[in-house]
Amino acid sequence: MSTPLAFGDVVRVVEADETAERGIAGAVGMVVGVRFGTIETAIVGGGGLEDAALVSLSEPVEETVVIARRLLESTGEIGEFEVVDAPPDDSPEE
């Protein structure tokens, strides 16, 4: 059974062979995707896309990883996104 995760959930990556090999065991991040059509990358921990989440890790590594939900533990917190790539407001003042 998959862990129920939603966009914005803060998660910790559990200690497992798969996560230790990648150097992400214990890392903390935020869920940035839970539904996929297709994706060209391997899922850490294996399984199908329906059982995975896209997680943006921040500590101790900065990486975005597709990972099996069974390897994620929710912290009960909700993360916040900041818009960092918004186009500048160049509209002329009248």
Express as a percent the part of the chain with pLDDT over 70: 82
The tens digit of pLDDT for each residue in 4-21 reads 888 889 999 999 999 999
Q: Structure pTM? A: 0.76
**pLDDT tens digits along 28-62:** 999 988 887 777 788 999 988 889 999 999 877 88
Q: Tell the burial category of 74 from Cβ atoms under 10 Å away from its Cβ (0-12, 13-18, 19+).
A: middle
> Over 80: is that where the pLDDT of 83 sits?
no
CATH of range 9-76; options 2.30.30.140, 3.40.50.410, 2.40.10.10, 2.60.34.10: 2.30.30.140
Q: Is residue 90 scored above 90 in pLDDT?
A: no
- Domain ranges in the chain are 9-76
Confidence at 82, pLDDT banded by 50, 70, 90: low
